[in-house]
Structure 1
Amino acid sequence: MNEVRPTVLLVDGMALLFRAFYATSYGGYIMKTSAGVPTNAVFGFIKYFWDAVQRFQPSHIVCCWDMGSKTFRSEQFTEYKANRIECPEELIPQFELVKEVTSSFGVVNVGVHGYEADDCIGTLSKSYSEDAQVYILTGDHDMLQLVSERVSVVIMKKGQGNYAVYTPETLLEEKQLKPEQIIDLKGLMGDTADNYPGVKGIGEKTALKLLIEYGSVDGILENLAQLPKGVRTKIESQLDMLHLSKNLATIFCEAPVACALEDCFWELDRSAVIEKFEELEFKGLNRLLG
């Protein structure tokens, strides 16, 4: 008889929280408690989170968070994420509030100073996938590098409950890439959201074509003589930035984060959640719990 594997949901907390904030504030109205505490992002986060729980039915859940803007990547490249707009004032108090809410759901919160949530997710997914099926809930396509036979990346698409679930097969089918090639793609084309340039003058179309033909950045560099002169010149003149960009794009899967599988077993205490909902004046959310 086949043993039933545990199912772990790794939640990219920041991705859900920011998505929820902008989805619920675009009209200019920010939901607040009667005491004036903004709660719109937390409210939206809960709806996204609960929808994913219903869809993927995890036995274990961990929520991963960034712990400040300074990480080992910003030490390697001072411009890393330097283009990010200042955090909206109404969102700031919701960072801690949302962790209180996830805790009330019985979910473990994880974060490590000096590392991004991505690195925590990468490290934990690698560890848990030895014994469990892992789903990573995010909006960040960089996470596709973590896809494996036992790790699926769930990209949230526009509209609640709309997901693209990537396995090695669907990734290859849709993007013509293997998980490790996502890193090479970012190294070549850069990432405007994270503010590293890759090889200037090489966009996604050219990068994809090169990777399909030569397999990797190393394969491309071994065949520089075969490339069109313009492409070759761009790569040769920006080799250092190519390697640095590839390094910045790589999710570090040896972060100093530990959470044993048995410690993130998920069991909902309905009364604890309802108490938190009442505190935040989320009257309409009780019905979510059934």
Structure 2
Amino acid sequence: MMDQKPSFMLVDGMALLFRAFYATAVSGQYMINSKGIPTNGIHGFIKHMFTAVSTFKPTHLAVCWDMGSKTFRTELFSAYKGNRGEAPIELIPQFDLVKEVVDSFDIPNIGLAGFEADDCIGTIANQVKDFAHVSILTGDQDILQLLDEQISVILLKKGYGNYLVHTPETFFEEKGITPRQMIDLKALMGDPSDNYPGVKGIGEKTALKLLKEFNHVEGIVSNLDLLSKSYRSKIEQDLDMLHLSRKLAEIKCDVPISCAIESAGLKIERDKALNKLMELEIRGLQRLLPIDEAIIL
């Protein structure tokens, strides 16, 4: 079976860390250690990551991160994600510590100032997909635009170990459009969570209808005379925002980063990993780590 392709899992570090943090923060369980450092987000992050590893059994793994809130998208549109408050004080020290933990597992941490984790994921997925099966672990639907025959998306559902796995086929069954058309969908309807408006007065239903008819934003714009008067005037009024929203929605897949597949093989050194967890007083996760007899080279 020498022709078996490696399977490369790209982890959206931010999505897992935030999900883990907020799941326990609601009840005030920050797991504060003897040094006064909260570790609830890190604990849940490790649990999410290795539960997925034991379910999907990737041979290679890398974690991608946002590197600060200023990116090329905030340059294009200063209000981008401007609706998000400061990170909770208990989460702030966990941003750096979680990367140290990932380092202690000899798993690459990837991020580049000026870009989001999604852009790093898209770039690496496209670099390695010709010689590896790529899966992306996230809770964020935006990443579904990257789906193709070599790239699947594993969406985290509530709790641990519950997933919705998307391929281009399942995405099409659910939405009736292709993954790439999701960029145009977001351009038309905007994205309240990222704080950009798209075209005022056009929601998902209308956007899907227009995309099924005209394929993409360019197709719609070059056929404005075929649209009803109401749709046409909405789009004409918000034409600049439509084009800008499309730029904001599209994940960049040509970020100047790379990840050599050799550096991402899952080979955790037991002592190094356990020492780091002990240092942070993170307990009860040893059995989840793929080490010893479960070592994957």
Residue in 2 aligned with 1:210? 210
1:101-180 alignment, distance < 5 Å? 101-180=101-180
Q: What are the within-5 Å matches in structure 2 for residues 36-55 of structure 1?
A: 36-55=36-55
AA in 2 matched with 1:83: N
Cα displacement (A) at 1:283: 2.4
Aligned amino acid, residue 46 of structure 2: I
Q: Against the structure 1 CA distance between its residues 104 and 2, is the aligned structure 2 distance closer, same or farther, given a 3 Å change threshold?
A: closer
- The 4+ residue runs of structure 1 with deviation greater than 3 A are none
* 1:100 equivalent in alignment to 2:130: no
1:239 equivalent in structure 2: 239
Q: Judge conservation of contact 2:156–2:163 (CA < 8 Å) in 1.
A: yes
Residue 135 of structure 1 deviates from its aligned partner by 0.4
1:8 corresponds to 2:8:
yes
Distance in 2 (CA, whole Å) between partners of 1:48 and 1:280 is: 18
> TM-score, with normalisation over the residues of structure 1?
0.97
- 2:263 partner SS: helix
1:70-85 maps to which residues of 2 (within 5 A)?
70-85=70-85
Structure 2: which amino acid aligns with 1:172? F
Taking the aligned partners of 2:7 and 2:88, their CA distance within structure 1 comes to 35
Question: Can you list the C-alpha shifts for 1:146-188, whole angstroms capped at 9, x where unaligned?
Answer: 0010000111111211111111111101111211101000000
Which letter maps to 1:269?
Answer: E
| 1:19 alignment partner in structure 2 | 19
Residue 222 of structure 1: aligned partner: 222
The change in CA–CA distance for 1:251 and 1:157 in structure 2 (over 3 A counts) is same
- Within 2, Cα distance between the matches of 1:283 and 1:23? 18
TM-superposed CA distance for 1:193, in Å, is 0.8
Aligned length: 290
Alpha-carbon distance in 1 for matches of 2:244, 2:261: 34
Instruction: Give the equivalent residue in structure 2 for 1:199.
Output: 199
2:87 is aligned to 87
What is the alpha-carbon distance in structure 1 between the residues aligned to residue 212 and residue 122 of structure 2?
25
Cα RMSD after superposing both structures: 1.3
TM-superposed deviation, 1:252: 0.6
State the alpha-carbon separation in 1 of the partners of residues 98 and 265 from structure 2: 20
Question: Amino acid of the residue matched to residue 151 of structure 1?
Answer: I
Secondary structure at the counterpart of residue 135 of structure 2: strand
Report the AA paired with residue 86 of structure 1.
E
Paired amino acid for 1:137: L
State the one-letter code of the partner of 2:183: I
Q: Are 2:29 and 2:40, in contact at CA under 8 Å, matched by a contact in 1? A: no
Q: CA deviation at 1:77?
A: 0.6
What is the CA distance between 1:15 and its match in structure 2?
A: 0.6
Distance 1:210 1:140 in 2: 24
Measure how far apart 1:2 and its partner are.
Answer: 7.2
Q: Percent identity?
A: 58
Deviations 1:107-135 (A, max 9, x none): 10011011111111010000010110000
**Deviation, structure 1 residue 142:** 1.1
CA distance in 2, matches of 1:184, 1:127: 24
Change (3 A) 1:218 1:164: same
Distance (whole Å) between structure 2 residues aligned to residue 8 and residue 236 of structure 1: 44
The TM-score, its normalising length taken from structure 2, stands at 0.95
- Unpaired segments ≥5 residues, structure 1: none
2-structure distance, mates of 1:150, 1:2: 19
Deviation at 1:265, TM superposition (A): 1.6
Instruction: Give the stretch that moved more between structures: 200-209 or 222-231.
Output: 222-231
Map 1:49-68 → 2, pairs under 5 A: 49-68=49-68
Deviation at 1:231, TM superposition (A): 1.1
Q: CA deviation at 1:273?
A: 1.8
Q: Retained in 1: the 8 A contact 2:51–2:288?
A: no
Deviations 1:49-100 (A, max 9, x none): 0111111111111100111111111001111111111100000000011011
